[in-house]
Structure 1
Amino acid sequence: MNTVRDLPLGKDAASIRRRIEAMEMVLERSFTVPGINRPVGLDAIIGLVPVVGDIIAMGMGGWIVWEARNLGMPKWKLARMAGNVAFDTAVGAVPMVGDVFDFMFRSNTRNLRIVKKHLDKHHPHTKVIDQ
């Protein structure tokens, strides 16, 4: 498993990809809930804290969008990503229903998918084969 020290600091596409993948892992798949065998992350956990948790999760999801902007992604893709974060935040802010929604709707995973698709097309050298 990667540590913070292992993450690259560069502004190149490969470095940004690794940082976004690491943030998505922390926010959406940090550990598995025993019994239901479902991965959850920081987004769902801090979303349990009313208002403040949702704001923090929104900021962390917004960071992924900001990193995508650094890749030079088109504005329409950035808007779609920002919409995913905004939708997740808006519905996640509803008491009780929002907590279940945070557990099911993974805006950061959706955004990672958008970034990977862009990188695989425009920066194929960043592609990593998963084993």
Structure 2
Amino acid sequence: MPISPDPAKADARAMPGFGRDPASVRRRVETMEEVLERLFVVPGINRPVGMDSIIGLLPVIGDVITASMGIWMVWEARNLGMSKWQLTRMSANVGIDTLLGAIPLVGDLFDFAFRSNSRNLRIIRKHLDKHHPSTVTIDG
């Protein structure tokens, strides 16, 4: 009986959403965007807020954490074979969010308004819809 070099990788590929196929990548980046940008709605203003705005309140380390989560989405896009132009745009979105988000108080308001992860998800969805139409999901 052949022994798999890494049984954990084989198990992960067998689980839904953990594969490298475009549909799995789409589910992961959509989930990450929802957690970062639209986790819950703030009562009174009816505006969705996510972990990007909350973690970003922590000076320096919060911005580093949210930037790394945003860069993960760019990494997933790279693994999809997206163009350098698209990856550059996505990286710029994360960079702008990180640099301006690092400014005390003003940056926190900017994080609330400029949703780099939502912008990046739109870029990824556009690519997936064009190049992998079988991954299209109906928003309900």
Structure 2 length normalisation: TM-score?
A: 0.88
- Name which of 109, 134, 140 aligns with 1:125: 134
Residue in 1 aligned with 2:59?
A: 50
Please state whether the residue corresponding to 1:32 is helix, strand or coil: strand
Once superposed, what is the RMSD of the aligned Cα atoms? 1.0
Q: TM-score scaled by structure 1?
A: 0.94
Q: 1:96 aligns with which of 83, 92, 105?
A: 105
Percent of residue pairs identical:
67
- Any conservation in 2 of the 1:8–1:15 contact (CA below 8 Å)? yes
Q: Which residue of 2 aligns with 1:3?
A: none
Greater than 4 Å deviation, 4+ residue runs: none
Aligned to 1:110: 119
CA drift of 1:129 comes to 1.1
Task: For residue 76 of structure 1, report the CA deviation from its aligned partner.
Answer: 0.7
Mark the runs of 5 or more structure 2 residues left unpaired by the alignment: 1-14
What CA distance in whole angstroms lies between the structure 2 residues aligned with 1:79 and 1:115?
13
Aligned residues: 126
Paired residue for 1:16, among 25, 47, 51?
25
Please identify the structure whose Cα radius of gyration is greater.
2
Whether the 8 Å CA contact 1:47–1:57 is kept in 2: the answer is yes
Q: Of 47, 57, 73, which aligns to 1:64? A: 73
Q: Letter of the aligned partner of 2:32 in structure 1?
A: M
